[in-house]
């Protein structure tokens, strides 16, 4: 298993005060990903305090994730800051499948919806 590649992120202002934070890189499997999760959580905290968005799209479409609950810390931090129905996740392919498995196992799908496109995320977040 290759070592984690620490994530980089970009932000993009979307319509209706929605902010997108997109992560690239990869995370370690299981607890090996904990440092990556901590960096993601710090990035989300910084983005939320700097931008004060109405909602947040956390985009993992360019991030490689296989397994581990560490990936949930950043999205849950955003939910605590913004409230329910104000955060959603974007992921497809193997990362999306692994993330969906985690969300289902932890019963977090209602709190952190997983979508497959930016358009789907905008529809979800704009209705809230």
% residues pLDDT > 90 (the chain) = 80
The string of pLDDT tens digits covering residues 41-75 is: 999 999 999 999 999 999 999 999 999 998 999 99
pLDDT computed for residue 7 by the predictor:
77
pTM of the model: 0.93
Bridge partners of 114? 89
Fold (CATH) for 5-126: Transcription Regulator spoIIAA (3.30.750)
pLDDT computed for residue 5 by the predictor:
56
CA-based angle 6:82:104, to the nearest 5?
65
Which residues, at least 6 apart from 5, have a Cβ–Cβ distance to it below 8 Å?
Answer: 25, 26, 64
C-alpha distances in angstroms, 75 versus 1, 3, 12, 22, 69?
25, 23, 17, 12, 11
Tell me the mean pLDDT in the region 73-85.
Answer: 96
What is the residue extent of each domain of the chain? Answer: 5-126
Residue 1 has pLDDT above 50, yes or no: no
């Amino acid at each position: 298993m290759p070592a984690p590649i620490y994530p980089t992120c970009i932000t993009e202002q979307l319509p209706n005060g929605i902010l997108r934070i997109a992560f690239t890189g990869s995370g370690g499997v299981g607890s090996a990903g904990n440092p990556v999760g901590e960096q993601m959580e710090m990035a989300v905290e910084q983005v939320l305090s700097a931008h004060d968005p109405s909602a947040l799209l956390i985009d993992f479409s360019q991030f490689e994730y296989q397994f581990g609950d560490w990936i949930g810390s950043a999205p849950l931090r955003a939910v605590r800051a913004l409230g329910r129905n104000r955060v959603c996740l974007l992921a497809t392919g193997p990362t999306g499948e692994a993330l969906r498995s985690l969300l289902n196992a932890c019963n977090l799908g209602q709190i952190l919806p997983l979508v497959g496109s930016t358009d789907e995320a905008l529809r979800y977040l704009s209705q809230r």
